[in-house]
Amino acid sequence: MLDTMTMTKAGAGLFGALLIYLLTNWAAETIFEGPGSKHDKKKEAQAYTIETEGEEVAEAEVEEIDLGVLLAEADIAKGEKVFKKCAACHKITDGDNGTGPHLFGIVGRDVSAVAGYGYSGKLKAVASVWDAETLNAFLEAPKKYAPGTKMAFNGLPKIADRVNLIAYLDSLDN
């Protein structure tokens, strides 16, 4: 059986080793990561740029998207596949709400038109009608489009997925 003095020495040794480990880890992060690390809140300017021959650095151009043309070329079958991401929360049967409101007849519908569903005030503040442009912007990043919305979905980053989904949803009430 161990006496109290031996247990105290063993505990002190363990805690001493932990303290040395933590201090060494802190010192290594400070030395090797330096300014501009993930822990540093300031953004450092780039010191220099290496230019290569024959290549020009082009500024990112914002391309105008004609949503009408894209919708005319949309694939409803692909939109139905994209809808599977939505099906966990939304139903496509008229009047059948899930976690989210039903999406039957959504294209052209007023934003807060589904009876029996409690919309967030944040969504009502940014849009009034679910037209193709509004749906496209919302589906790209719901929390960015309507900060504070109850919709937890991160969005659809690909324009083709959004357009196909909008075409599919629009085809439901035809």
- The pLDDT of residue 113 is 80
DSSP at 110: B
- The pLDDT of residue 11 is 94
Query: What tokens appear for 93 in the block?
Result: 């049967």
Along the chain (174 residues), what's the average pLDDT of each consecutive run of 10 residues?
Answer: 88 96 90 62 60 57 69 89 90 85 88 79 80 90 85 88 91 81
**Whole-angstrom distance, CA of residue 73 vs CA of residue 77:** 12
- The pLDDT of residue 41 is 52
Three-class DSSP category at 118: coil
- The pLDDT of residue 96 is 85
**Whole-angstrom distance, CA of residue 92 vs CA of residue 136:** 18
- The pLDDT of residue 154 is 87
- The pLDDT of residue 149 is 82
Q: Pick from 64, 62, 51, 80: which is nearest to 171 by CA?
A: 80
- The pLDDT of residue 21 is 95
Q: Can you state the angle between helices 76-83 and 159-171, rounded to 10 degrees? A: 100
